[in-house]
Chain A
Amino acid sequence: MAIDEKSHILFTKPLHQTPMIYYHSTNTDINLKGDYMRISAHPILDFERGTQVSFTFDGVQVSAYTGETIAAALYAAGYRTLANSPVRHRPRGFFCAIGNCSSCMMVVNGNANVKTCIELVQDGMIVETQRGKGTL
């Protein structure tokens, strides 16, 4: 077991001995969350946000704007993991964001397998991480 000090990733098997070129930006990380992450100045687009609402994600209050999907609102709030995969229990985010795949399915108001990349937020929604395939 080896640990890459920089990324804190646990590795189990050395791949090969050759050092590789490592690129990284010297720009400091900005913790992208909330309204900071919602684009305000854009060269082409003007974004008109809806009214502010809030919902809970695994019990935590998250604010959003009407017209946003659940996945988009969670993303803006800094959440990337929406579900645990059904067999390996790996963290999953969205993949297609237009309702084609199944990567973003969550439990919404008690209903499992809701595609949150296309489901719009509503005030007071209860959103939970989906673990496995969900139950009826």
Chain B
Amino acid sequence: MLEKTGVPTQSEIESVFPSDERLSKGPVAVIECFQSIPCDPCATACPRGAILPFADINDRPVIDNDKCNGCILCMTKCPGLAIMVVDITWSQDRALIKMPYEFRPLPDVGQTVQALDREGTVVAEAEVIRVQYNKSMNKVPIVSIAVDKQLVKTIRNIRTICDTPTTATHTAIQEEAQDTGIVCRCNDLQLAEIRALIAKGYTTIAELKQMARLGMGPCQGRNCLPVVVNELSRALGVPVAELPVGSFRPMVKSIYLGDLAGYEEQGEN
């Protein structure tokens, strides 16, 4: 599901949250890093060694929750902004959540902001308790908010400016006839024209060049060729790797003929 929606499921969230017992002991980091990717700055970010060393750069982080004291150092090092800190002992009825917030304007302490879940839906209001931002934080401000304890596993973001939500209505739409999309900007060739040429039997880049000046404009085929080789491959049932390639000649960018004609050797050095 995560790979389809970008939103972790409840059980995935539970899998990275510390036990209720640990949560009841005070602030602790929660790392929502569900995918094995080549990234390891968190492993060396913790001065207490709470994030265990990686055997391989593609390892997923593992926290020793007993060593973690819920400081914010790892949060500013994570390129995925995947770490937050929760403290359910912060007050009688409210929990404190510290999260990275890379947007402007930053909220003011005491301000009421919207608290959002992992899909960006507003689920509650939250009070901003602290905003930490200094030069050592790598431009990752940390905003601490107080929220209803029941929502500690739900809230993952804030919104400081309250927008009107995007709405949906129904209408009919029609399309312009005959526009199949431009493949070659230099010579204004549409996809249908390329397909028609291929259907007529012009099935190599060299032939398409001669027929339609494909790849002969100022961009030298940079835009059209990746599209056209796939069209040829599909039409002919031949893998792209087996198609003959056209020739590539100087220059790679257009220059003025006058410059070429007027070129004078500056002498050997």
Docked-complex contact A4 and B173, CB < 8 angstroms: yes
Q: How many contacts A-B (CB < 8 Å)?
A: 98
* B219–A102 CB distance below 8 A: yes
Q: B interface, how many residues as a size bin? A: 20 to 34
Are B174 and A11 in contact, CB atoms less than 8 angstroms apart? Answer: yes
- Is residue A59 within 8 Å, beta carbon to beta carbon, of the partner chain? no
B176 close to chain A: CB less than 8 A: yes
Tell me the complex Cα distance, A89–B185, Å.
11
Cβ distance A131 to chain B, nearest Cβ, rounded Å: 13
**Inside 8 A of B266's CB, which chain A residues have their CB?**
none
Query: What's the Cα separation between A95 and B223 when bound, in Å?
Result: 10
User: Among residues 1 to 54 in chain A, which have CB atoms less than 8 Å away from a CB atom of chain B?
Assistant: 2, 4, 6, 11-15, 17-27, 41-44
Residue of B nearest to A12 (CB): B177
- A contact residues around B185 at 8 Å (CB): 85, 92, 95, 101-103
A7 to B25, CA, bound (A): 58
Chain B facing A: main interface SS:
loop
Q: Which of B62-70, B101-109, B147-155 contacts A (4 or more CB under 8 A)?
A: B101-109
Whether B187 and A86, one on each chain, are in contact in the complex, defined by CB atoms closer than 8 angstroms, is: yes
Across-interface contacts of A116 in B (CB, < 8 A) = none
Q: Does A105 contact B (CB under 8 A)?
A: yes
Cross-interface CB contact of B173 among A15, A99, A101, A136, cutoff 8 Å: A15
Contact assessment for B186 and A24 in the assembled complex, using a CB-CB cutoff below 8 Å: no
User: Would you call A113 an interface residue if the criterion is a C-beta within 8 Å of the partner chain's C-beta atoms?
Assistant: yes
Compute how far the CA of A90 lies from the CA of B172 in the bound complex, rounded to whole angstroms.
25
Which B residues are in CB contact (< 8 Å) with A26? 164-167
Q: Does A43 lie within 8 Å of B175, measured CB to CB? A: no
Partner of A15, one of B102, B171, B174, B222: B174
Contact A24 B169 (CB under 8 A): yes
Cβ contacts under 8 Å, A27 to chain B:
163-164
User: Is B218 an interface residue, CB under 8 A from the partner?
Assistant: yes
Q: Would you give the shortest CB distance from A94 to chain B, in whole angstroms?
A: 10
Known: A20-B171, A26-B167. A11 touches B176 (CB 8 A): yes
A100 at the interface (CB under 8 A from B): yes
Q: Which B-chain residue is minimally distant from A85 (CB atoms)? A: B188
Contact status A100-B172, CB under 8 Å? no
Give chain B residues whose Cβ lies under 8 Å from the Cβ of A13: 174-177
Write 17 A-B pairs (CB below 8 A) sorted by A numbering.
A2-B174, A4-B174, A20-B170, A20-B172, A20-B173, A22-B168, A22-B171, A23-B168, A24-B167, A26-B164, A85-B185, A95-B185, A102-B185, A102-B186, A102-B217, A105-B218, A136-B257
Interface of B toward A, CB cutoff 8 Å: 102-105, 139, 141, 163-177, 182, 185-188, 217-219, 222-223, 253-254, 257
Assuming A6-B171, A26-B165, what are 9 further A-B pairs, CB within 8 angstroms? Answer: A2-B174, A15-B173, A19-B170, A25-B167, A44-B139, A86-B186, A87-B188, A100-B219, A115-B218
